[in-house]
Amino acid sequence: MREKKVLLMGDAASGKSSMRAAIFKNTIPDLTSRLSTTHSYEMENYKFFGSRSLSLVDCGGQHGFMESYLTDDGEKILFAHVSALIYVFEVTKLDSAGRPPELSLQYFSRCLKALGKRSPQAPVFVLIQKMDLIQPEKRQSEFDMWIKALKQICGQEDAFIAFGTSIYEDTLYRAWSAVVRILVPNLSDLTRNLGLLSQSCGALETAMFEKTTFLLIARSSVEEPVNHSLVSTHLLPDIYNKPVEDAGDATVALGQANRFEMISKLIKAFKHDARRFSSEPFDSLRMEMSDFTLVLTSLTPTSYVLVIASAKEPRITPDAIVLNISHARPHFEALQAAAK
């Protein structure tokens, strides 16, 4: 199916519509406080990757709406043909004993049951949102309390993949990149070919971002062992830990594990600010620093590629990287078109 339906559900005021605005409409976090509560649900189609579209269903979390989704008719409409469910809770809602509100747990459990009945293959992503409101040293323990309670209520160890997130931090991009990567069918082909492009550019690392959202789709380097905090790691599917074949030297692990999410966040903020000075859309970025050379440019009509090379190699200039990318472009366009 070329259209992928993603349900965005969870407690009222937990931040669902804010995420949607930040990721898909480039709204800056501070402006999300102006959003009003979502009445029933809003479905929007976003052109997403290749000819694929993502149909995002943002479901208002107030009790009356939740009850309406969980009637027999509501279930048939909402929970059928779902590719992924994103379920959001607000981290601050734990009670003094460290327990989430009973009603939140009940709705979560009922939604999982409805999904299991209508779209049993759909993966579930739990986002514990508003982490910025918790002191850094307490974040992991509060996150763990949520995950423990949610696991207890659904009675299954591997029922969901969870992330601690904040609209103000790159953690939001980490979580949403994981969601969209599940929706890309030929991810391993893309990854392998990025490895080859990386080799041909003599690069240290190459990554592919979706154009509108700037979410990370694929990368040439091996995923570092997943030891991020605020991620329920053992539940991440295999694709996140698989070594990349044929990636050669490009498998060098570089810098911070969250560098791609930081790049997503920075480029989005840059694009937002650049609009104040120019009506031209963002096209590309080149940097020649003392220790690395960086090129970020369009790869296909729906993606950007980021290539990073060592500045110790004087032959690897931005122009040479751009030339290699232009040679690889038709190949990546064909790969995207072939994705079923």
Ligand X SMILES: Nc1nc2c(ncn2[C@@H]2O[C@H](COP(=O)(O)OP(=O)(O)OP(=O)(O)O)[C@@H](O)[C@H]2O)c(=O)[nH]1
User: In the complex with ligand X, which residue's Cβ is closer, 35 or 285?
Assistant: 35
Q: Which does 112 bind (CB under 5 to 8 A by kind): ligand X, Mg ion, none?
A: none
Binding marks (x or -) toward Mg ion, 6..25, rule CB under 5 A? ----------xx--------
How far from 281 is each of 208, 272, 277, 298, CA to CA, in Å? Answer: 19, 10, 11, 12
Q: Is residue 305 within 8 Å of 207, Cβ to Cβ?
A: yes
Residue 63 has φ and ψ, to the nearest 5°, of -55, -45
Reading the block at residue 155, the tokens are: 């009675």
Q: Give the integer Cα–Cα distance in Å for 218 and 208.
A: 5
Tell the smallest beta-carbon distance from residue 265 to ligand X (Å). Answer: 13
Helix 259-274 × helix 171-183 angle, to 10°: 100
User: In the complex with Mg ion, which residue's Cβ is closer, 38 or 119?
Assistant: 38
Task: Based on the shown chain and the rule CB under 6 A, indicate whether residue 167 belongs to the binding site for ligand X.
Answer: yes
Size of the site for ligand X (CB under 6 A): 22
Binding marks (x or -) toward ligand X, 127..166, rule CB under 6 A? --xx-xx--------------------------------x
User: In the complex with ligand X, which residue's Cβ is closer, 130 or 181?
Assistant: 130
DSSP H/E element including 180? helix 171-183
As to burial, measured by CB atoms within 10 angstroms (0-12 exposed, 13-18 middle, 19+ buried), residue 42 is: middle
Tell the smallest beta-carbon distance from residue 28 to ligand X (Å). Answer: 11
Task: Based on the shown chain and the rule CB under 6 A, indicate whether residue 32 belongs to the binding site for ligand X.
Answer: yes
| Contacting positions for ligand X (CB under 6 A) | 12-18, 32-33, 35, 37-38, 60-62, 129-130, 132-133, 166-168
